[in-house]
Structures are given as C-alpha cells and as structure tokens.
Amino acid sequence: MKSIFILLIIISSGCAAYKSYNQNTLGKVVLRGGVYEKEIWSEALTFKRMSWYHGMTLYFDALLWKADVDSPFAKWFSSQEKEFFTKCETLLVTAGYSADPSKISHVSFREQMKLNGYDDVVLNSFASALKSHPSAHDWRLQNYKILGYCKRSPSRLGTSKLAINFPSFKQLEIGL
C-alpha cells in the first residue's frame, strides 16, 4: 500500500513538472482543393506550421505558405494583392493564433518577421477565401489572423530559412 502511494506521488510530480515546460514544434497543415468563381481544383494548399507550447497549452501557432503565382490558390488574391508578386522577392501568407497575447502576441511575431526582412501586408481577399474553405472549420481558422509578409529586396541574411525566437523558447527555423 505504501509503495503504491509513493508511486502515485512520483507520477503526479512528473506530470506537474511536464506542464511547466516550454516547447515548440514544427509540422504542416494541408487544405485540399479549392474553388474560385466557376473554377474548382483538387490541388493541396500546404502550410508549414510553427507552434509554441507551455506544457500542453498552445501559446502561439503560425501557419506559413510561400505564395506561388502559379498555384491555383493564387486566384484567391485580389488584383491589388497580386501586385505583391511583382513587388516582393518572397510573399508569405501566414495564419497566426495567439492564445494569450501577454505570453506571445501577434506583435511579437510581426517583430520577428521584420528581423527576417519581411514587412506585413494586408491580404483581405485571400484571408476571406481561406477562412471560407471547407477545412477551415477543422483547423479553427476563424480564430487565426491572416496576414501577408513581403520580402522586398534580396535577403541580407543570406539564408532561405526563417528563424523565429521568442523569449524562454528554443529558436525555431523553417526552410521556405
């Protein structure tokens, strides 16, 4: 009986210690198919995913897609938004979620993007189409802030990786 009690205490303390651990992960989110006016396509829109957790609580989630003018999903951009393809070396579409802005905020993410050479741009048309996608509900994209990030000149950093570093978390790098 006494040994079972000690075992329960050890397991409980291990679980409690885990919950105070900061961690981050990389992954991907895939949305299949799309529609624009009378056109339907089956190609996939694949976002790279960067997530920051405290224990099992999601603090911040960022989905990134390197926009491609040849992708059928480029039809979702308005004519004004399509101008970014000619003005930007790289155009990234991001979907960001902040569970608690006092921990990690959209402003903190924007600052990290600036350090990587990106300026934020508004993509209202694309955001509207993305949030209307049938799989958007599955990923709860209605809670995400959709923005574009434009790298206007060749990278001074000499790398094709995006590095995001939030305080008290390991730096995450993702290839674009």
Share of residues in the chain with pLDDT > 70 (%): 85
What are the extents of the domains in the chain? 23-175
Report angle CA 100, 171, 45 to the nearest 5 degrees: 75
Q: Which of 31-45, 82-96, 152-166 has the lowest mean pLDDT?
A: 152-166
Which helix (H) or strand (E) segment holds residue 121: the answer is strand 119-121
pLDDT of 15 > 60? The answer is no
d(CA 96, CA 90): 18
Span between the terminal Cα atoms of the chain, in Å: 56
pLDDT in tens, 44-88: 999 999 999 999 899 999 999 999 999 999 999 999 999 999 999
d(CA 43, CA 123): 21
* The pLDDT value given to residue 90: 93
Name the band, by pLDDT with cuts 50, 70 and 90, for residue 176.
confident
Is 169 buried (19+), middle (13-18) or exposed (0-12) by CB count in 10 A? middle
* The pLDDT value given to residue 8: 60
Cα Rg, the chain, nearest whole Å: 19
pLDDT in tens, 111-124: 999 999 999 999 99
The residues with which 46 forms a beta bridge, in sequence order, are 30
pLDDT of 161 > 60? The answer is yes
* The pLDDT value given to residue 160: 77
Backbone dihedral angles phi then psi of residue 59, each to the nearest 5 degrees: -90, -45
d(CA 103, CA 99): 8
